[in-house]
């Protein structure tokens, strides 16, 4: 497990940006985009649009991942 965030590039609506996430979050983010049949950049843009001004993109992605897996766990109950 690598606890240090790794900086990776994304393209959001034609603009390049970088986001630092831990490897485990990147893996979960990729898995979610595959499950939803969405390109990673499209999912990131969707999250970016909804995040508001109080949270950075990396935080918004982490919270999205948490909510996604919580919802899946509730559906299994």
Could you report the per-residue pLDDT of 28-69, keeping only the tens digit for each? 999 999 999 999 999 999 999 998 888 899 999 999 999 999
Residue 55 resides in a domain: yes
Domain count, the chain: 1
> Distance (Å, rounded) from C-alpha 12 to C-alpha 66?
21
CATH number where 29 lies? 1.10.3990.20
Residue 42 resides in a domain: yes
Q: Which residues contact 3 (CB under 8 A, 6 or more apart)?
A: 22
The answer to whether 48 and 16 have CB atoms below 8 angstroms apart is: no
Domain that includes residue 27, residue range = 6-76
> Distance (Å, rounded) from C-alpha 40 to C-alpha 32?
9
Residue 31 resides in a domain: yes
- pLDDT tens, residue by residue, 13-36: 899 999 999 999 999 999 999 999
């Amino acid at each position: 497990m690598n606890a240090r965030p790794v900086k990776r590039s994304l393209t959001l609506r034609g603009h390049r940006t970088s986001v630092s996430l831990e490897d485990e979050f990147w893996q979960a983010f990729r898995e979610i985009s595959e499950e939803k049949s969405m390109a990673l950049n499209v999912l990131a843009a969707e999250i970016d649009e909804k995040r508001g001004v109080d949270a950075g993109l990396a935080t918004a992605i982490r919270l999205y991942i948490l909510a996604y897996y919580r919802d899946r766990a509730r559906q299994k109950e």
